[in-house]
Structure 1
Amino acid sequence: MAVSPVGLGAMPLSIEGRPDEERATATVHAALDAGVTLIDTADSYHWHAGETGHNELLVARALARYGGDTSGVLVATKGGRGRPGDGSWTVDGRPAHLKRAAEASARRLGAEAIGLYQLHKPDPAVPWADSVGALRELLDAGTIRAAGLSNVDTAQIEQAHAILGDGLVSVQNQFSPAVRDSEPELRLCAELGLAFLPWSPLGGISRSSLDGPKDPAPAPEGAAFHRVAADRGVSPQRVALAWLLARSPVIVPVPGASRPESIRDSAAAPELELAPEELALLEDVLR
């Protein structure tokens, strides 16, 4: 299923410091209005104990309340992590848990089958082939239509690809101006024809806006993005996303947002074509 060049990371709508539901819903609707057709969520995106699936339910309600057509929207969710409510994160890659989690996510999303289900993180206590095998069973059962991986290395991608074949469509690793150690995984995704979905794609870019205050000292790797942004009259966040999109045709960034203004700005990144000299400047600084 084809998706928009930039997705919406829905996690900020449900974790610590989350907005009220009215603003959260407005953020999802702003994304849809801007042409975003990929929404990234997870069963573990919540704040307090006992809220498993908070973000999935919120996204489902926002889609149901949207006045336009949502048939082309892909909701990608994840399973295999948990939040006990004390700020920590747990991991559980047991096949039985993943299958139960996927079935519960489908119910919360109101979907006959989950469009894209991603294994949130490898569990060191469970053989990788066993966790991936659960995804294979979910595909075969029709619970999910496509499978993805998150927080993985090249060996794990290759092993999963051997097990899942065409059922594996994406890899979601952290990648941004500040964190670029997933270059090997990005190259492998391009070779295998897998989408690469950078999470936290705006890392290293300090908050600023064209009509508001700017941080006095951007992170060193972000200063060049601020310079290009000032020259272009756009936000440095938009420049960062345009830089990512220029790196590989398989990249689909999923920046988080908790305000309509933020996702509107992110969704406009594909319209910003950086000149070769601008890309060279950014790469030189990052190196």
Structure 2
Amino acid sequence: MTDNKIATVELGRGGPRVGVQGLGCMGISEFYGDTDEASARETLETALAAGVTLFDTADIYGSGANETFLAPFVGAHRDEITLATKFGIERREDDPDYRGVNNSPAYIRKAVEASLRRLNTDVIDLYYMHRHDTAVPFAESVGAMAELVREGKVKQLGLSEVTGAELREAHAVHPIAALQSEWSLFSRDVERSAVAAAAELGVTVVPYSPLGRGFLTGSFADAGKELAAGDFRASQPRMTGENAKANAALLEPVHKIAAAHGATAGQVALAWVQQRARVHGITVVPIPGTRKSHRLLENVGATRLTLTDDELALLEPIAGQVAGDRYQDMSLTSLARE
């Protein structure tokens, strides 16, 4: 490392080198309450200065607003960053709660053109299928994504929330560089089959919500009572009521380990995710989200924290004791198809 920047790793086999931690940009535009735009832009610059180079967005975040927000930053630093966005989840203007999944070739073509336009760029470095539409064969949807690579609109392909079997099926159509799935001390569904497939195929795993949407940091204990109106976490089963009370108690070893290292609970949670690389023999680039520079610096500090085998053993049982699902509706997750 130089200039105190975080280490780098290869994104997929033969892909670009990126910072070992990326930045999830979803919360800048939606889902976590109001955003201070100036603070968010400062956070993007702070991230890049710290060596964070993988910036992750999606067309669903703010119904395109997140991509539009990122465009000036992308334009100013295009050769320094790896830009990831996603397609596949549809929304409706007349129904804010509607979420549909569309992986049809025609939709993929329409979606990529819209993302390129909003991001004001000629190429997307990593283009993800955000959710798998089981009504469309992978040969068709991944084949359509591969066409975008051949046309120079996209450099690498990724999938999100797929099983190991689905990852192998897609990879047979076109090499998959990255698998993005929820992975944290509280959420280990991805280990059922997808992690082993990623290791076999040389696919980088990109954990989203590695801080359990903030719950693992201890910054709140009951989303329904403590977070602002409109924060979607207030409707998540494991973050409210009796589930939240039970789950907060599971964080005792996290806080104990943090105190021993002079670190924060969030840094311990992130260090655990980062060390999955050694445990499973894979490349791991988590993408914690934040809109504040000081939180960004705290997060990247976790890349320099190494937990001992005894500490990892203390954390091992937590996920199996978590109360409540990670979404109200789990039907669009890989777990639903395992």
TM-score normalised over the length of structure 1 = 0.88
Letter matched to residue 96 of structure 1: A
1:3 match: secondary structure: strand
Q: Distance in 1 between matches of 2:135 and 2:34?
A: 32
Q: Distance in 2 between matches of 1:45 and 1:118?
A: 14
Correspondence for 2:183:
175
Matches within 5 A, 1:3-152: 3-16=18-31, 17-46=33-62, 52-64=63-75, 71-84=79-92, 86-152=96-162
Q: 2:218 aligns with which of 207, 218, 228?
A: 207
Q: Distance in 1 between matches of 2:286 and 2:46?
A: 17
Check whether the contact 1:221–1:286 (CA below 8 A) recurs between aligned residues.
Answer: no
Q: Is it true that 1:250 corresponds to 2:265 in the alignment? A: no
Letter matched to residue 200 of structure 2: E
User: Any idea what the Cα deviations from partners look like across 1:186-235, whole Å, max 9, x if unmatched?
Assistant: 121111111000111111514349xxxxx998624432212111221211
- Using the TM superposition, give the Cα deviation of residue 244 of structure 1 relative to its aligned residue in structure 2, in angstroms: 0.9
Q: Distance in 2 between matches of 1:222 and 1:189?
A: 29
Q: Distance in 2 between matches of 1:259 and 1:87?
A: 28
Q: Distance in 2 between matches of 1:261 and 1:218?
A: 26
Check whether the contact 2:164–2:195 (CA below 8 A) recurs between aligned residues.
Answer: no
Q: Which runs of 5+ in 2 are unaligned?
A: 1-15, 221-243, 321-338
Letter matched to residue 142 of structure 2: V
Correspondence for 1:212:
none
Letter matched to residue 283 of structure 1: E
Check whether the contact 1:18–1:258 (CA below 8 A) recurs between aligned residues.
Answer: no
User: Any idea what the Cα deviations from partners look like across 1:47-90, whole Å, max 9, x if unmatched?
Assistant: xxxxx32111111223446xxx5522101000111233513422
Q: Greater share of strand residues, 1 or 2?
A: 2
Q: Distance in 1 between matches of 2:249 and 2:190?
A: 20
Q: Distance in 2 between matches of 1:111 and 1:283?
A: 43
Correspondence for 2:258:
229
| Regions of 4+ moved over 6 Å | none
Counting matched residue pairs gives: 272
Q: Is it true that 1:276 corresponds to 2:309 in the alignment? A: yes
Q: Which runs of 5+ in 1 are unaligned?
A: 47-51, 210-214
Q: What RMSD, in angstroms, separates the aligned Cα atoms of the two structures? A: 2.1
Q: Is it true that 1:267 corresponds to 2:300 in the alignment? A: yes
Check whether the contact 2:158–2:177 (CA below 8 A) recurs between aligned residues.
Answer: yes
Check whether the contact 1:208–1:235 (CA below 8 A) recurs between aligned residues.
Answer: no
Identity of aligned residues (%): 39
In structure 2, the CA distance between the partners of 1:160 and 1:56, relative to structure 1 (3 Å rule), is same
TM-score normalised over the length of structure 2 = 0.75
